[in-house]
Amino acid sequence: LSNSSAFVFSEDDGIFMRRALSLARLGRYTASPNPRVGCVVVQPPAPGQSAPRIIGEGYHRRKGTPHAERNALAACDEDPRGATLYVTLEPCCHYGATPPCTDAILEAGISRVVAAILDPFPEVQGKGVEILRNRGVRVDVGLLEEEAGFENRFFFHYQIHKRPWVILKAAMTLDGKLATHTGHSQWITGEEARAHVHEIRAEVDAILAGIGTVKADNPLLTSRSEKTPEGFKQPTRVILDPQLQIPRTSKLIRTIDRAPLWIFCHHSAPEYAIQELTFLRAAVTPVNGSRSALDLNEILQTLASSGVQSLMIEGGPRVHTAFLESRLVNELLIYIAPKIIGGENAPTFFMGTGEELMDRAERLERIERMPLGADTLIRGVLRR
């Protein structure tokens, strides 16, 4: 269904799809569980002019509201008949919360559709393209496919693997430490880096931390980003707490009204503690594993079955290490502060036994480096 690799999209095609991708990103804080999708409608040059014109654009804001294509068509300031529609994901052709976009495209008389990538959703998967082609619309697929897939990596990973996309976030000093040898870690990085973390928190469905971090730092684990739009829903806070030792006066418990709290414990956790925390409106789920190392696969599956498509692990080092050793991390976000603190017993984000030889080192792919005040973010993807 994708165009053959010999097919060459024009420079203008690339410009309009990039615009559609930047519109898709506007949905990053609200679209989940739906994908982020952007769309632009373009008419050929007007008589006497040389450049094609964008006559309408839109993106998908949240589930239950119109899709990007319908928003872009509704926003057109002239008749879209004969226009080209650029969209970052194959148009849907099924009745979900809203009617099919293929209908809207046909009704509008669009003559060409350029889609970045096919929809992995089983009810669509190429059928949207086929319906349009059968009705005489020219459909070209595969422009900026990699970028479009990456923008929707949470959605794609979840649809394909039935698991959340896992991001591991850590803030460390130049000598790789996550805290001093006494466990003190507030703050390693400066304000800009911490503001960036709040933006990423706002993008994910859930944030996870171990009970060690809860006891040491008493974190809130909510997003306080100024960039979130009205109606933004806080991610679920997930805590690994085998014996349910979470302090009942912790900020996490005191802010259950603001953001959901889901605690995973071991089957051996005391029943009265489960009841007490449930009474405090936390969700408590006993899982397998050992008394101090819960079964991470079971936890990810449980999160997935409640619709969590993306999860950010915020520490501490023992939890980081457990996820890395189990090869369950898809993406690393490492904030590096230009500070050194030393200390053999000061933790790093990946402890355990480690590799014997350098050629066994795991390499990040798709690396991005971003200066944030005095700090630097290095992020990238781990091949799984």
Ligand X SMILES: NC(=O)c1ccc[n+]([C@@H]2O[C@H](COP(=O)([O-])OP(=O)(O)OC[C@H]3O[C@@H](n4cnc5c(N)ncnc54)[C@H](OP(=O)(O)O)[C@@H]3O)[C@@H](O)[C@H]2O)c1
Q: Candidates 92-100, 122-130, 302-310, 316-324: pick the segment binding ligand X (CB under 6 A).
A: 316-324
Nearest to 41 by CA among 137, 111, 107: 111
Q: Candidates 24-32, 76-84, 95-103, 240-248: pick the segment binding ligand X (CB under 6 A).
A: 240-248
Q: Is 296 in the site for ligand X (CB under 6 A)?
A: yes
Contacts of 58 (CB under 8 A, 6+ apart): 23, 38, 39, 66, 68, 69, 70, 71, 72, 73, 74, 75
Contact characters 175-204, ligand X, x per CB under 6 A: ---xx---x-x--x----------------
Give the distance, in angstroms, between the CA of residue 182 and the centroid of all CA atoms in the same chain.
Answer: 33
- If binding means CB under 6 A, how many residues of this protein chain bind ligand X? 28
Residue nearer to ligand X on the CB measure, 43 or 213: 213
Contacts of 384 (CB under 8 A, 6+ apart): 327, 330
CA-to-CA separations, 287 to 265, 293, 297, in angstroms, rounded: 6, 10, 10
Nearest to 305 by CA among 201, 158, 110, 189: 158
Q: How far is the CB of 334 from ligand X (least distance, A)?
A: 9
Residue nearer to ligand X on the CB measure, 189 or 236: 189
When binding is defined by CB under 6 A, the residue of 159, 225, 243, 255 that contacts ligand X is: 243
Residue nearer to ligand X on the CB measure, 90 or 203: 203
Q: How far is the CB of 227 from ligand X (least distance, A)?
A: 22
Q: Which two tokens stand for residue 32?
A: 């989940």
Residue nearer to ligand X on the CB measure, 202 or 319: 319
Footprint (CB under 6 A) of ligand X, residues 40-99:
none
Do the beta carbons of residue 267 and residue 243 sit within 8 Å? no
Active site residue 69: yes
Q: Candidates 143-151, 302-310, 312-320, 370-378: pick the segment binding ligand X (CB under 6 A).
A: 312-320
When binding is defined by CB under 6 A, the residue of 210, 223, 228, 237 that contacts ligand X is: 210
Q: Is 173 in the site for ligand X (CB under 6 A)?
A: no
Tell me how crowded residue 85 is: count the other CB atoms within 10 A of its CB. Answer: 30
Q: How far is the CB of 182 from ligand X (least distance, A)?
A: 8
Do the beta carbons of residue 180 and residue 343 sit within 8 Å? yes
Q: How far is the CB of 115 from ligand X (least distance, A)?
A: 39
How many angstroms separate the CA atoms of 157 and 165, rounded? Answer: 6
Residue nearer to ligand X on the CB measure, 123 or 191: 191
Q: Is 115 in the site for ligand X (CB under 6 A)?
A: no
Q: How far is the CB of 126 from ligand X (least distance, A)?
A: 40
Residue labelled with tokens 């500070």: 339
Of 11, 57, 69, 362, the active-site residue reads 69
Residue nearer to ligand X on the CB measure, 10 or 182: 182
Q: Is 375 in the site for ligand X (CB under 6 A)?
A: no
Q: Candidates 7-15, 42-50, 205-213, 375-383: pick the segment binding ligand X (CB under 6 A).
A: 205-213
Residue nearer to ligand X on the CB measure, 253 or 293: 293
Do the beta carbons of residue 245 and residue 211 sit within 8 Å? yes
When binding is defined by CB under 6 A, the residue of 92, 167, 209, 336 that contacts ligand X is: 209
How many angstroms separate the CA atoms of 223 and 28, rounded? Answer: 14
Type of residue numbered 114: V
Query: Which letter does DSSP use for residue 164 in this model?
Result: -
Type of residue numbered 100: P
Beta strand 138-141 with 53-59 is: unpaired
Supply angle C-alpha 223, 228, 233, rounded to 5: 65
Q: Is 303 in the site for ligand X (CB under 6 A)?
A: no
When binding is defined by CB under 6 A, the residue of 66, 91, 235, 242 that contacts ligand X is: 242
Do the beta carbons of residue 33 and residue 309 sit within 8 Å? yes
- Sign of the C-alpha dihedral computed for residues 345, 347, 352 and 353 taken in this order: negative
Residues that bind ligand X (CB under 6 A): 170-171, 178-179, 183, 185, 188, 209-213, 216-217, 240, 242-243, 292-294, 296, 314-319, 322
Catalytic residues: 69
